[in-house]
Amino acid sequence: MRFVHDGVIFMYVYLAGAIISVFKTLNQLCVNQNLHVPLYSIVNVLVFLFASSHLTQFYCMNSAEQSKWTYGGIIGSAEVNSCLNFIGRQNDVNGIFIDRPIYMTGGYSIVHKDVPLVAMNKYEFLEFDEKSTVPVYTDTLSLQTRPLTHNNNARRLKSFGHISDFISIYNTPYLYKKLIIRTEYNYFVLEEDREFEHLGGFVEVFRTQSSKVMRRTFEPHAEQALLDRASKIPIGTNATVLEHEGHWLAHYGLYKQAEERLVFANYIAPRELGPYRRLLEIYQARGNTDFYSKVLTTCMQFHSMIDCTGPYKPLELHSEYFK
């Protein structure tokens, strides 16, 4: 909700700027015509009346009206930010994993470190790293989708619309595999009663109420045990979940990862039509005729050509995403 509040604030700032521009124009017209109208005094009076009306409205609210301005859903934001504040004071932070919704972190700006992040969205974990950043040029204050050049004014920005990976909450073994193999993720923010693994390799370094911070120790024997376990974990074990992940990865333009999940979904359940259709759409859009032909040939072993080449209908694994 804090992002919505920021948007409202920017809207009012823009509106105030527009009002000032109008009054400046009127003031200039009055000066040109030798009219003496206290325009700035009028502006001040209007601002005072506007602020007074809003203050009166808030102060006079009853409990039923106040409840509309509160949010009783996700709790624990203060705990998560306390953990992130602790992590931000450390000197060895290379990557962060949070098993709570990313909306509880305020964009995790409290960390003050440009490091990769994996955090929960709602029914999936999203990864944000250097591959998913968007360049921002301070001289133009505009987002650019073209590749960065050697420009001193260029900065990189993480946004919710640009991710590096999408992992369903129903595919947590693969999430575990990713976090172990990607050794840059060395700080974890977990709920108090949640254990990440039992092979060692992580130590608790901070705790607040029902949240804790675990740090990866990189102890050689524990690391080897972790890597051995991770190497035995497949991409997924449920074709429906893999198809769901593949669809959303393609939606975000992560075609290589989408292809990997969808191909494995076909390997697990070769008669399922959905992964074939989504793969064919991806290959057709990217002009990859060789792979398109191979997938179509495989699909036609179980379905007709009309069925294989029909439009893909996304799985409604979480129905609220399609309202």
Shared domain check, 306 and 213: no
In a domain, 94, yes or no: yes
Is the model's pLDDT at 166 over the cut of 90? yes
Is the model's pLDDT at 245 over the cut of 50? yes
Mean pLDDT of 114-132: 89
- Structurally, the chain folds into a number of domains equal to 3
In a domain, 96, yes or no: yes
| pLDDT recorded at residue 57 | 72
CA–CA gap between residue 115 and residue 123 (Å, rounded): 23
Angle in degrees, 0-180, between the axes of helices 239-251 and 273-285, rounded to the nearest 10: 20
In a domain, 291, yes or no: yes
Identify whether the C-beta of residue 117 lies closer than 8 Å to the C-beta of residue 96. Answer: yes
Shared domain check, 177 and 120: yes
Domain CATH for 201: 3.40.190
| pLDDT recorded at residue 148 | 45
| pLDDT recorded at residue 72 | 55
From 175, 201, 231, give the residue that closes a domain: 231
Burial class (CB in 10 A: 0-12, 13-18, 19+), 57: exposed
Shared domain check, 51 and 11: yes
Among the ranges given (22-36, 107-121, 235-249, 287-301), the one the predictor scored with the smallest mean pLDDT? 22-36
Identify whether the C-beta of residue 147 lies closer than 8 Å to the C-beta of residue 173. Answer: no
Question: pLDDT tens digits for 101-112?
Answer: 888 777 677 888
Shared domain check, 300 and 191: no
From 42, 69, 96, give the residue that closes a domain: 69
Shared domain check, 97 and 44: no
Shared domain check, 255 and 188: no
Is the model's pLDDT at 145 over the cut of 50? no
pLDDT band at 292 (very low <50, low <70, confident <90, very high): very high
Is the model's pLDDT at 151 over the cut of 70? no
Shared domain check, 308 and 282: yes
Shared domain check, 121 and 199: yes
Is the model's pLDDT at 91 over the cut of 50? yes
Q: What are phi and psi of 246, to 5 degrees?
A: -60, -40
Q: Cβ neighbours of residue 13 under 8 Å, at least 6 residues apart?
A: none
Shared domain check, 123 and 260: no
| pLDDT recorded at residue 142 | 46
Shared domain check, 289 and 182: no
Among the ranges given (78-82, 96-100, 305-309), the one the predictor scored with the smallest mean pLDDT? 78-82
Mean pLDDT of 111-139: 83
CA–CA gap between residue 89 and residue 73 (Å, rounded): 29
Identify whether the C-beta of residue 140 lies closer than 8 Å to the C-beta of residue 129. Answer: no
Question: pLDDT tens digits for 168-199?
Answer: 999 999 999 999 999 999 999 998 877 766 66
Is the model's pLDDT at 70 over the cut of 70? no
Q: Cβ neighbours of residue 297 under 8 Å, at least 6 residues apart?
A: none
pLDDT over 70 percentage in the chain: 81
| pLDDT recorded at residue 66 | 59
Shared domain check, 81 and 64: no
| Residue 224 lies in domain | 77-129+164-231
Please name which of 299, 323, 301 lies closest in space to residue 312, comparing C-alpha atoms.
299
Is the model's pLDDT at 310 over the cut of 90? yes
Please name which of 169, 168, 165 lies closest in space to residue 95, comparing C-alpha atoms.
165
Neighbours of 73 (CB within 10 A): 7
- DSSP E strand stretches across 22-164: 96-101, 117-120, 124-128, 134-137, 142-143, 154-157
**Tokens 């073994």 sit on residue:** 173
CA–CA gap between residue 160 and residue 41 (Å, rounded): 43
pLDDT band at 1 (very low <50, low <70, confident <90, very high): very low
| pLDDT recorded at residue 52 | 81
| pLDDT recorded at residue 143 | 46
Mean pLDDT of 111-135: 87
